[in-house]
Amino acid sequence: MKRIRLLLLPPMLILPFLLIGQVGTPIANDIGTQALSNRQLKAVFLGNKSLWDNNKTVTVVLTSSNSQNFEATAQWALGTDAFEYQKHWLSLVFQGRSGAPVLLDSETEVVEYISAHPGAIGMLYSLPPPPELEIDVK
């Protein structure tokens, strides 16, 4: 009789692999529109947009650079890992082409920050988006 062994891994080890390539749910506060194309959304998360159509400053809000969500955003936006995505942003900031993204410890903090700052935009991967901050992706 053959035995089958199941290897059960803790969710902390599996989550990074599940998030890779996954597109999060964008949320934003007072950006002058309720919908963005996927191309426009990527441009924002690549630091290629500095002002919204309503003249509010674009503020990208992300979870910390060592989080799975940051890694997932790096994969989606740039097709690379968190380290390269962080280097991409540092390059933009030092060239004066963009402001630095705001990095916070949790998705809850991301929601709170965006709620309090017009022009802010971020991605959620595990929390449901608050209806007043939801953005449609066309």
Distance between CA atoms of residues 136 and 93, nearest Å? 28
Q: What is the pLDDT of residue 5?
A: 53
Q: What is the pLDDT of residue 138?
A: 87
Q: How many domains does the chain have?
A: 1
Average pLDDT, rounded, for the chain: 88
**pTM, rounded to two decimals:** 0.83
For the chain, give the percent of residues with pLDDT over 90. Answer: 82
Lowest mean pLDDT among 13-17, 30-34, 74-78, 81-85: 13-17
Residue 64 lies in a domain: yes
Mean pLDDT within 64-70: 94
Position 16: which residue type?
P
Under DSSP, the state recorded for 46 is T
- Confidence at residue 23, expressed as pLDDT on a 0 to 100 scale: 75
Answer yes or no: is 97 within a domain.
yes
Residue 100 lies in a domain: yes
pLDDT confidence of 3, banded at 50, 70, 90? low
Query: Looking at the domain assignment, is residue 50 inside a domain?
Result: yes
Which residue's entry shows tokens 């740039």? Answer: 78
* Cα maximum dimension of the chain: 70
Q: Residue 115's pLDDT is what?
A: 98
pLDDT at 59 over 90: yes
Q: Would residue 106 count as lying in a domain?
A: yes
User: Which domain range does residue 67 map to?
Assistant: 43-137
| HSE-CB of 129 using CA atoms within 13 angstroms | 18
